[in-house]
Amino acid sequence: MERISPKQLFMLTMLFQIGSTVIFGFASNAGRDAWIATLISTGIGIFIIFIYTLLMQLLPGLTLVEWFQTQFGQWLGTPIAWLFPILFLYNAGRTLGDVKDLLITTILPGTPEWIVLGLFMIAITYVLLSGIEVIARLAEMILPVILLLFFIEIILIFGSHTIHFERLQPILGEGWGRVWKAVWPLGILQSFGETIAFAMIWPLTKQPERIRKTTILATILFGMSITIFDVLAILTFGEGTFSSSSYPLFRLAKVISIADFLENLDALGILYFVSTAFFKTTLQMYTAIRGIQQLMYIHNSHLLIYPTAVIVLYLGLTISKSTAEHVFSAMKIFPC
């Protein structure tokens, strides 16, 4: 059986939680108070993940789908358990839709959608065929590079003299109402709630006693990183642009301008997004495949990879007709 280390679990968890959030403004509907909503969402998210890991400890060695079968029996537990692989497949298709919308509206205008997503899915399929250990080792190489680029971008933004601290004021000038609307449900369900998918991976982790600490630490670092980028976006664009822009954190890289030499580093934002979206989609598909494999008692999971890739590719191509429709469905219709 394949195994991953707690360090690799940390890398995978953080990449999964970042996902497409690195481009879309987290809790942007809270305006200049988005950073407060992000911190509150992180705190509640940590509590939710604590509950997830508590359930894992009460049912040691079992995956998410096995929890329901064990507690509710085959007749009731199995139909409930099937909801999760279906949800993971839907989320994978939605993440793929994020890739389609951003790439085609920014750096690849006019490129057929099926070519962009088809190539993306080929790479994901290849990694899935390699197994969770290869995915984890790849995460070990990619995450430090992304964090380094995050740090460099922060320095370059401050060096571009676009920061105006008065744009954060007045703090809570419109009360707590819009902050709580940003926190629930999307702020909690996005990234934090989705971490339930890792209940399919936790039984594969060495030193299971370290899973809770590792996962919560990754969540804290993710929450702090997104809070920092929200603050930078507000300080740079102001409340109006930050709230109305579809990709405020992607636009953040475009404002970098130092000595008329380092300018329009939008490729940096694309690099973040493609890398983290790749891992999120891969892990969503992996957990869905593992869940279906256990529910259908299939010995070889490779038999499920190709049909799953076709389903997710179809969802990514058809899940929305425009960026506005895609964002609306994610925020209003099915916020998870």
- Phi and psi at 137, nearest 5°, equal -65, -35
Closest CA to 55 of 70, 42, 40, 76: 70
Taking 3-state DSSP, the helix, strand and coil percentages for the chain, each rounded to the nearest 5, stand at 80, 0, 20
Asked if 91 and 336 touch (Cβ cutoff 8 Å), the reply is: yes
Q: Please, what is the average pLDDT of the chain?
A: 84
DSSP state of 205: B
Q: Is the pLDDT of residue 166 over 70?
A: yes
Asked if 187 and 37 touch (Cβ cutoff 8 Å), the reply is: yes
Residue 264 has what pLDDT? 61
Residue 192 has what pLDDT? 87
Residue ranges of the domains in the chain? Answer: 6-333
Q: Which of 5-14, 183-192, 239-248, 324-333 has maximum average pLDDT?
A: 5-14
CATH H-level, domain 6-333: superfamily: Amino acid/polyamine transporter I (1.20.1740.10)
Cβ-Cβ contacts under 8 Å for 323 (sequence gap 6 or more): 101, 105, 246
335 versus 294: the higher-pLDDT residue is 294
Max Cα–Cα distance, the chain, nearest Å: 67
pTM: 0.91
Tokens 């469905």: give the residue. Answer: 329
Give CA–CA dist 241/72, Å, rounded: 49
Q: Over the stretch 171-182, which tens digit does the pLDDT of each residue have?
A: 877 778 888 888
Give CA–CA dist 333/94, Å, rounded: 13
Q: Is the pLDDT of residue 13 over 90?
A: yes
Closest CA to 139 of 26, 305, 18, 267: 18
Coil, strand or helix at 322:
coil
Q: Over the stretch 71-120, which tens digit does the pLDDT of each residue have?
A: 888 889 899 999 999 999 999 998 888 888 777 777 777 778 888 889 99
Q: Is the pLDDT of residue 327 over 70?
A: no
Q: Which of 243-247, 282-286, 326-330 has maximum average pLDDT?
A: 282-286
Give CA–CA dist 158/94, Å, rounded: 33
Amino acid at 275: S
DSSP characters for 237-306?
A: H-HHHHHH-S-HHHHHHHT-EETTTEE--HHHHHHHHHHHHHHHHHHHHHHHHHHHHHHHT-S-THHHHH
190 versus 282: the higher-pLDDT residue is 282
Average pLDDT over residues 281-295: 94
Tokens coding 249: 């954190």
Lowest-confidence range among 53-62, 176-185, 271-280, 327-336?
327-336
Residue 329 has what pLDDT? 57
295 versus 189: the higher-pLDDT residue is 295
Residue 335 has what pLDDT? 54
Tokens coding 182: 């940003």
Percent of the chain past pLDDT 70, that is, above it, reads: 90
Amino acid at 308: T
Q: Is the pLDDT of residue 270 over 90?
A: no
Coil, strand or helix at 3:
coil
Q: Over the stretch 220-260, which tens digit does the pLDDT of each residue have?
A: 999 998 898 888 888 888 777 777 777 777 777 777 666 56
Give CA–CA dist 96/94, Å, rounded: 5
> How does residue 271 score in pLDDT terms, banded at 50, 70 and 90?
confident
Tokens coding 165: 């601290």
- Phi and psi at 162, nearest 5°, equal -110, 5
